[in-house]
Amino acid sequence: MKTGIIQIKVDPDPQKNIDQLLHYSQQTKEADIVVLPELWICPYDNGKIKESVRYQKQAMDALRTISARYHQILVGGTIVEKQGTHLYNTCFIYNDGQIIGSYRKTHLMEFHGRTTYQEKDVFSMGNQIVTFDTPWGKMGVVICYDIRFPELPRLLALQGIRVLFVPAAFNENVGKAHWNALMQTRAMENQIFVCAVNPAAYTYRSYTSYGRSLIADPFGRIQVQMKKNQRVHIEEIDLHKIDQIRQRMPFWNIRRNDLYK
């Protein structure tokens, strides 16, 4: 399965980000599945998040166009979705131009240090876990901060996913400390592939993106990691590795469900 990653260097102007996406998508046209970062449409700033709502239709039109044009599955990172009075941090998933799933971020990030930042000041929480079917098996998606809660990837793995896609926007400081460790651990403990995608390095006010999108294999090894300023990469994923590793190290047969319940 050829997996394309697009690290957009996010601009304060949502229209420029849409134009970037259309441009870079030409370089991943040979991929079977393409993955985008969290909030590729706007900087990670609550004011800019609210402003970007006006571009929801244009962003979804661009995602639909790319998926249809190149006959791909597109895990569309996240954009700001407005429904009624609520805003959601939402990943739309397309196949050949048709929406086959959408996932709203279920765990909203908070940070309390010298300054306080809370996603709940702008976003509402999603309340459903999401899988989607592909010719290569069932896949799952979580968004950025969700990866810190092992219950969610485990529930997806128990539903049979082969790859967990993680549109994300880790900042530079936290990325250095936790990015690789979290993605490798979720891959290893669930014996699945994890494909995690950040924006390319950019700075807006106090936020700097980490970049360095990666794919971790079901043994927990990093198969590929992009550079912080790299824009595009295509990587072949051999899904047979999942069955090979599960046979060699049969975590799933040893799990004590009688205790966990």
Backbone angles phi, psi at 180, to 5 degrees: -65, -45
Nearest to 101 by CA among 140, 158, 50: 140
Catalytic residue among 9, 38, 42, 81: 38
- Residue 121: closest CA among 130, 132, 112: 112
Task: Tell me the CA distances in angstroms from 18 to 9, 25, 79, 115, one per residue in order.
Answer: 11, 11, 11, 31
How confident is the model over 200-246, as pLDDT tens digits? 999 999 999 999 999 999 999 999 999 999 999 999 999 999 999 99
pLDDT value, residue 250? 96
Q: Which of 9, 48, 105, 228 is an active site residue?
A: 105
Q: How confident is the model at residue 113 (pLDDT cuts 50, 70, 90)?
A: confident
261, pLDDT greater than 90: no
Q: What are 136-168's pLDDT values in tens digits?
A: 999 999 999 999 999 999 999 999 999 999 999
Give pLDDT, residue 79.
98
What angle do the packed helices 56-70 and 14-24 form, to 10 degrees? 0
pTM of the model: 0.97
What pLDDT does 201 receive? 98
At position 260, the amino acid (one-letter code) is Y
Q: What is the domain range of residue 62?
A: 2-260
* pLDDT over 90 at 115, yes or no: no
Domain count, the chain: 1
Task: Give the whole-angstrom CA distance, residue 164 versus residue 231.
Answer: 21
Active site residue 195: no
Could you tell me the pLDDT band of residue 114, with boundaries at 50, 70 and 90? confident
105 has catalytic annotation: yes
Write down the pLDDT at residue 158.
96
CATH of the domain at 232: 3.60.110.10
Catalytic residue among 42, 91, 144, 195: 144
Active-site annotation holds for 241 = no
Residues 140, 79, 142: CA angle, nearest 5 degrees: 20
pLDDT in tens, 29-79: 999 999 999 999 999 999 999 999 999 999 999 999 999 999 999 999 999
Mean pLDDT, all residues of the chain: 97
